[in-house]
């Protein structure tokens, strides 16, 4: 009787943790290397960039939008920051400019969506191609190398024994969690995603909140760009290709509804972890990269089915 009363809450509130726990248990039985500290730390390091992008994507999806440009924006922000640093600007200023330009381009996309009334899918799809083109023009199709040590520290350094990319990911997770759960901006995002017209009639500044959501996604792309550039010790013109799909997948697997109005930062973080653990496990088991793509697709479809079932209840 007691179990029947609490079972629905256990599944809906902690379903992602159960899924992650079962996945970890299965992989630890299949591979003796999976639970080694070095491998677990490697998983967190690999997940960090996707998790940061996915947290920015979650903010956009919550208000009922989508951002297909984050992968290309990451490449552009990384290339610009690296180029500024190599040309002689102080590294902190170069990195700040890289993030600032990513935020500015996010604001530009938000303005086109909120005030020009263009569909988010089209605006950000155009951003995906335009930002990639700008990156190729700026880099002339070649990597930018010779970065100062500050970039290496962002991608490969440690703080109290914890890799800096993991610290950056957890800090951005905390920031996003506070934004969504403890601020009026967060409540407005949920309200717009739930019913935009009702939110407008209730006095919510819908257009400004939409612009903010894309600016936040740009901030995530800029931060992820610095981490990735540091890890690679260079700015690659093809960096971030396909990252937008991984970010959307992490958000959806984490319970964010593509229809808007439902999702959490914590859920997106768990979604990114599930995808990262799955990728790592399949690599340890020598699963072909072809089958890895199929497995990732199956996981996304299952997440959407679960989302549909939960919404029907």
Per-residue pLDDT reduced to its tens digit, 152-170 = 888 888 898 889 999 999 9
- Retrieve residue 254's tokens: 């984490």
Is the Cα torsion angle 24, 163, 105, 133 positive or negative in sign? negative
Tokens 């600032």 belong to which residue?
100
Q: What is the pTM of this model?
A: 0.90
* Per-residue model confidence (pLDDT) at position 6: 47
Q: What is the pLDDT of residue 140?
A: 92
Q: What is the pLDDT of residue 287?
A: 86
Looking at residue 113, its pLDDT comes to 95
- Can you say how many angstroms the Cα of residue 100 is from the centroid of all Cα atoms in its chain? 18
SS3 (DSSP) at 163? strand
Q: Tens of pLDDT along 201-246?
A: 989 999 999 999 999 999 999 999 999 999 998 999 999 898 998 8
Structure tokens at 295: 């497995």
The per-residue pLDDT for 151 is 81
**CA 297 → CA 15, 17, 44, 107, 250, distances in Å?**
19, 20, 22, 31, 12
Residues 6+ apart with CB under 8 A from 275: 47, 50, 246, 249, 250, 253, 296, 299
pLDDT tens per residue across all 313 residues of the chain: 445 554 555 555 567 788 888 888 888 898 888 888 889 988 999 899 999 999 999 999 999 999 999 999 999 999 999 999 999 899 999 999 999 999 999 999 999 999 999 999 999 999 999 999 999 999 999 999 989 888 888 888 889 888 999 999 999 999 999 999 999 999 999 999 999 999 999 899 999 999 999 999 999 999 999 999 999 989 999 998 989 988 998 998 888 988 888 899 999 999 999 889 988 988 888 888 888 888 878 877 776 676 666 656 5
């Amino acid at each position: 009787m007691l179990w029947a009363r609490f079972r629905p809450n256990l599944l809906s509130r902690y379903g992602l943790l159960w899924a992650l726990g079962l996945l970890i248990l299965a992989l630890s039985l299949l591979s003796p290397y999976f639970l080694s500290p070095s491998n677990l730390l490697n998983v967190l390091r690999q997940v960090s960039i996707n998790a940061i992008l996915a947290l920015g994507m979650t903010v956009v999806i919550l208000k009922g939008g989508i951002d297909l440009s984050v992968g290309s924006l990451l490449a552009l922000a990384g290339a610009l920051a690296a180029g500024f640093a190599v040309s002689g600007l102080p590294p902190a200023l170069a990195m700040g400019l890289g993030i600032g330009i990513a935020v500015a381009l996010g604001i530009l996309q938000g303005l086109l969506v909120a005030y020009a009334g263009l569909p988010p899918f089209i605006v950000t799809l155009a951003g995906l191609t335009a930002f990639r083109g700008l990156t190729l023009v700026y880099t002339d199709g070649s990597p930018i190398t010779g970065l100062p040590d500050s970039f290496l520290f962002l991608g490969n350094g440690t703080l109290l024994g914890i890799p800096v990319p993991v610290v950056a990911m957890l800090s951005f997770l905390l920031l996003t969690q506070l934004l969504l759960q403890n601020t009026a901006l967060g409540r407005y995002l949920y309200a717009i995603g739930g019913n935009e017209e009702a939110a407008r009639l209730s006095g919510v500044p819908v257009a400004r909140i939409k612009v903010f959501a894309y600016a936040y996604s740009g901030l995530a792309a800029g931060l992820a760009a610095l981490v990735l550039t540091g890890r690679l010790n260079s700015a690659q013109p093809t960096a971030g290709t396909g990252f937008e799909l991984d970010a959307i997948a992490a958000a959806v697997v984490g319970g964010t509804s593509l229809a808007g109005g439902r999702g959490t930062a914590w859920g997106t973080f768990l979604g990114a972890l599930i995808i990262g653990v799955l990728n790592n496990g399949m690599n340890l088991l020598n699963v072909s990269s072809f089958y890895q793509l199929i497995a990732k697709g199956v996981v996304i479809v299952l997440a959407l089915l679960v989302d549909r079932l939960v919404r029907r209840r």
